[in-house]
Amino acid sequence: MSGNLTLLDDTLARAKAEDRAALIAYLPAGFPTVDGGIEAVKAVFEGGADIVEVGLPHSDPVLDGPVIQTADDIALKGGVRIADVLRTVREAHAATGKPVLVMTYWNPVDRYGVERFTAELAEAGGAGCILPDLPVQEAGVWREHAEKHGLGTVFVVAPSSRDERLATITAAGSGFVYAASLMGVTGTRESVGASAENLVGRTRATTDLPVCVGLGVSNAVQAKEVAAFADGVIVGSAFVKLMLDAPDHAAGLTAVRELAAELAEGVRRTS
């Protein structure tokens, strides 16, 4: 069975045709439970997210700040497994028809087996993978199997990336390019930073892939700011924090659905 890279491409192209940025949400699988995590992904889609990244919880998430680390710890203590991540992808995509990616560090995929992981992700209806710690020069085996199964390979670029390096990274990717708005780990911030716009411009000079910005966006004002220059706005920690702070699961679902609706308005670039 082929994965849903084409659906991802079409979703990003449709947002561009509507003269807006796409809203991409991130939530970890298994948080607060496997079933609860599936409900949360569905809720952000209902609120207006175009695409969701499902995080594969990791014991040492080097790119992720304390909010996502806390959620990952809860998921891991709950016994979440790769099968649960794939189930989250399957049920969220089946319920909404929208593109769902997995964001994961390389080690769990390598241990699970690249062929097995890509085949099962495609079978689950996944659109691809974001691999923040997989060097492009070591990604040949992954890219071969991802392409065979119709999955996108999204690499991360940072403000520190030199132009030559950007060209190498974007040439190897598919789906979109994940532009980290600033150096550091994920988390909500007062300002996304001017470096993000510069990075998007430099990245676009190397590729026709959409360039989507993450790390730091947490409200509609920031979403609008980023939507003015990026093809997609990625929001993770703000959703996770709402789930962590909610008095109960139902309240958490309401909160993330409402935030998704606010952000969906923010990415529309209206004056």
Q: How far is CA 134 from CA 108, 140, 169, in A?
A: 12, 10, 11
Enzyme catalytic residues: 53, 64
- Of the candidates 219, 210, 208, 213, the one whose C-alpha atom is nearest the C-alpha of residue 196 is 213
Q: Which residues does 134 contact at the CB level (< 8 Å), separation at least 6? A: 106, 142, 155
CA 262/CA 264 separation, integer angstroms: 5
Q: How far is CA 82 from CA 39, 147, 205, 266, 268, in A?
A: 18, 21, 36, 33, 35
Alpha-carbon dihedral of residues 28, 146, 204, 22, nearest 10 degrees? Answer: -40
CA 258/CA 145 separation, integer angstroms: 37
CA 219/CA 248 separation, integer angstroms: 22
Q: Which residues does 91 contact at the CB level (< 8 Å), separation at least 6? A: 38, 42
Residue length of the chain: 271
Q: How far is CA 268 from CA 98, 121, 149, 234, in A?
A: 19, 31, 33, 14
